[in-house]
Amino acid sequence: MSTVITNIGELAGAAEDRWLMKDAALVIDGGRIAWAGPSRQAPAADEAYDAGGRAVLPGFVDSHAHLVFAGERAEEFAARMSGRPYAAGGIRTTVERTRAASDAELAANVRRLVGEMARQGTTTVECKSGYGLTVEQEERAVRIAASLVDEVTFLGAHVVPADMEPEEYVRLVTGPMLEACAPHARFVDVFCERGAFDADQTREILTAGRAAGLVPRLHANQLGHGPGVAIAVEFDAASADHCTFLSDEDVAALAGSRTVATLLPAVEFSTRQPYPDARALIDAGAEVALATDCNPGSCYSSSMAFCVALAVREMRMTPEEAVRAATEGGAKALRRTDVGHLRPGARADVLVLDAPSHIHLAYRPGVPQVARVWRNGRAV
């Protein structure tokens, strides 16, 4: 079954040498992009969809989310808005609720959020564990995630559980927990931050994760300056996430590496922190991604469009830079070449905006602008 999308006013991400094409058409065949080019050269297909002059983009790649959880923390958010700072300790509240939930409840929560994301144009989702913090609980988190999302990250090292000593917990994470979780995950992550895991512990966990076949990524430099970004680069991590507090050395290290700087501006919005310096990263030549970090604590938004709008308004990214960071940037942060673009051969993850240009994502913040989404060639 093939579909030709005709009358595309603006087609993004369909050619290596030209990110935007005007008056274009796109052909989907068997879950893949089969052809992209000028409207008048469009080949015939089994069915046609008239985009009516709208903009067509690759589906968003949300490369950072924590969806396996129960309960929520709206009161913590309200307290923050009245001046209380965000602290890693809030994670333990969600750990308690998550441990008490059934597998079916946790799966339903992931499904609900993945559905919410899909309706907003997100077609690739990464999800982390990290609200279980025992071997059994972390294993079930990565197992549930693996059945419902594209990419899974083992984040046993999210915070030290209240009833354990740090050294004892690191031994558990690098031993039996890793062994139980590695078969369900592709990445290993550590919350490298004061109040969570320090540099030595982070290196120990990434080293063990890598030995188990997982690709490192890191929660780095979210709450203050620290060693996270440098360690991410040292480990050739796929991504260093947050990057809210960066030194000049951190920026230079990222620029000289293939580690993607994944910026999560909806977290800064929801925690009232300064926004990361996207301009410094981009101008130095670092690869930048945008993601939501959807979780019940630091940011309960699943909207990539909101992240794009924040990146443009608050981080001085151009609309093109922001949309590319939310699509191909996310794909790079997940070391994926089949998503985040619409060149022939890509997975047919297609977002038709109810707008003539990608600029409208930032120009009309908060307005639903998804006209239609295909994921893997199927209408969502």
Q: Smallest distance from the beta carbon of 128 to Fe ion, in angstroms?
A: 7
- For residue 59, the partner it binds in ligand NIG, Fe ion, none, with Cβ less than 5 to 8 A by kind, is none
CB environment 306-326: b (16+ within 10 A), e (fewer): bbbbbbbeebebebebbbbbb
Number of residues that bind ligand NIG (CB under 6 A): 13
- Of 112, 113, 21, 31, the closest CA to residue 304 belongs to 113
268 binds Fe ion per the rule CB under 5 A: no
62 binds Fe ion per the rule CB under 5 A: no
CB nearer to ligand NIG: pick between 126 and 293 = 293
Query: Among residue numbers 173 through 212, which ones bind ligand NIG (CB under 6 A)?
Result: 191
Distances (CA, A) of 109 to 133, 195, 293: 19, 28, 15
Q: Which residues contact 139 (CB under 8 A, 6 or more apart)?
A: 132, 177, 180, 181, 184
277 binds Fe ion per the rule CB under 5 A: no
Query: Of these, 209, 226, 276, 297, which contacts ligand NIG (CB under 6 A)?
Result: 297
90 binds ligand NIG per the rule CB under 6 A: yes
- One DSSP character per residue, 153-181 reads EEEEETS--TTS-HHHHHHHIIIIIHHHH
CB nearer to ligand NIG: pick between 287 and 293 = 293
Residue 331 CA to residue 323 CA, distance in Å, equals 12
Q: Is 32 annotated as a binding residue?
A: no
* Other Cβ atoms closer than 10 A to 376: 15
91 binds ligand NIG per the rule CB under 6 A: yes
Q: Which residues contact 26 (CB under 8 A, 6 or more apart)?
A: 4, 5, 8, 11, 14, 33, 35, 36, 56, 342, 350
Stretch of residues binding ligand NIG (CB under 6 A), selected from 182-190, 293-301, 317-325, 346-354: 293-301
CB nearer to Fe ion: pick between 177 and 220 = 220
Q: Is 120 annotated as a binding residue?
A: no
Query: Of these, 137, 259, 298, 327, which contacts ligand NIG (CB under 6 A)?
Result: 298
Residue in the shown chain whose Cβ atom is closest to Fe ion = 293
- For residue 174, the partner it binds in ligand NIG, Fe ion, none, with Cβ less than 5 to 8 A by kind, is none
Q: Is the torsion defined by CA of 216, 221, 226, 230 positive or negative?
A: positive
φ/ψ (deg, to 5) at 318: -75, 160
Q: Smallest distance from the beta carbon of 191 to ligand NIG, in angstroms?
A: 5
Please, are residues 369 and 144 in contact by the beta-carbon 8 Å criterion?
no
Cα 340 versus chain centre, distance: 12
Per-residue mark of binding to ligand NIG, 60-79 (x: CB under 6 A) = ------x-------------
266 binds ligand NIG per the rule CB under 6 A: no
Query: Among residue numbers 282 through 301, which ones bind Fe ion (CB under 5 A)?
Result: 293
SS3 state at 19? coil
Residue 275 CA to residue 263 CA, distance in Å, equals 9
Q: Is 360 annotated as a binding residue?
A: no
10 binds Fe ion per the rule CB under 5 A: no
Please, are residues 199 and 205 in contact by the beta-carbon 8 Å criterion?
no
Supply the angle between the helices 103-119 and 135-146 in degrees, to the nearest 10.
40
126 binds ligand NIG per the rule CB under 6 A: no
Q: Smallest distance from the beta carbon of 156 to Fe ion, in angstroms?
A: 14
CB nearer to ligand NIG: pick between 14 and 91 = 91
Q: Smallest distance from the beta carbon of 30 to ligand NIG, in angstroms?
A: 37
Task: State the residues that interact with ligand NIG by CB under 6 A.
Answer: 66, 90-91, 94, 191, 219, 222, 267, 293, 295-298
Q: Which residues are annotated as a binding site?
A: 64, 66, 73, 131, 158, 219, 222, 293, 295, 297-298
Q: Which residues are annotated as a binding site for Zn(2+)?
A: 64, 66, 219, 293
